[in-house]
Structure 1
Amino acid sequence: MIRVLLADDEAMIRAGVRSILATDPEIDVVAEAEDGRQAIDLAAEHRPDVVLLDIRMPRLDGLAAAAELARAQPEVKVVVLTTFDEDEFVARALGDGARGFLLKAADPRELLIGVRAVADGAAYLSPRIAQRVIAGMRGGQAARRNAARDRVATLTAREREVLALVGAGLSNQDIARRLFLAEGTVKAHVSTILQRLSANNRVQAAITAYEAGLVDD
């Protein structure tokens, strides 16, 4: 069962998201919060697998809450669910440790796919956001590409294989099956990869994989 904490200051939005999540028998909304501060307190109390955070909330906004959760409860996986898709918000959310970025205007099935993917250890971006991230990388300077390749060069051949699959959006379980490894071994590889790349999370590692050319478009 995937335990979810839902944080949004609008009761109607919470009700709608809760209804969508309820269509999946493997997802259980264990708590709801009206602001970012309450979300942090409830996360400490209920220990959810995934926290869905809106950006614009009173007391503490979703981006600040995501950063605090990443520091205080790194085992909790944060997904930003918002109407705002500005690049600044996306960059800040991912930089502060969010595992996913979803748009409220998207197909409801995307919410279920995103929650399941993040709970399973993968990263997930709304396709519209992912396209912009990839486009931004394509238009970036050669220096960024070269820097990514230099960082990737510090990895072993097996670690590069794992990184490429992280970049392709696979979970640890999927990577283990693909490479015929134990899931615990994959987790150890991912931990080492994040450390060597100086990446805060799988999303940043995936971006490095794209920049270094490890992932086909």
Structure 2
Amino acid sequence: MANNKIVGPAPATEAAVACVSASELLVAALRKQLADVNSIALYRSGAAAIDPTGSFALVLIDLGSISIDECLELFKTLHQTPVALVNANHDAALLLMEKYPWIKGVFYRSCSRGVFEQGMEKLVSGGDWLPRALMERLIDRYRHLARSYDVVSQLSKREKQILFLAGQGLSNVDIANRIHLSIHTVKSHVHRALRKLGAANRTQAASMVLGHAESSP
């Protein structure tokens, strides 16, 4: 069997939807659901097969056919092309959405045909389709990040610097030597920062500061 084949009259570069899957059932469902779409490009061997020059309105990735590692490699070639995950589980979907927020749709393995058809109609029209449980988890995560951002903003520049270095794996002694302070002064900064952040320990506080740095423009 060839690595990829095109289902529909147009070449891959003109396809409206690309599907990375080895499932004939999924392809049959797409043919029926997307009868009005110009063409569907079907890729059977993951990231190595997909046409990097293709211009797709949506790429469906069947997590029942490729591994998470293959999916991560595929995302590198898709840049910010809209993506929907099919046959996903909650944890895998959450992991991928945190890394690639332009994922527009997620269908769990347990979703019914009716839900799949309704979701695909929404996605093809330019909307989003995410399970409620996943949306609630993402909202909770973003709220936590927002609270952390506000709290970290209250730290002094020196406190942020010390916790950032701690997050890089440096001990208090290493930090003191790096920024030319006494070990007592470094410990005092860490203690004050822990109190401001409400963090249980140095590791948790450093993680909050690193997360703040990554989310800052």
- Normalising by structure 2, we get a TM-score of 0.49
- Normalising by structure 1, we get a TM-score of 0.49
Q: Is the radius of gyration larger for structure 1 or structure 2? A: 2
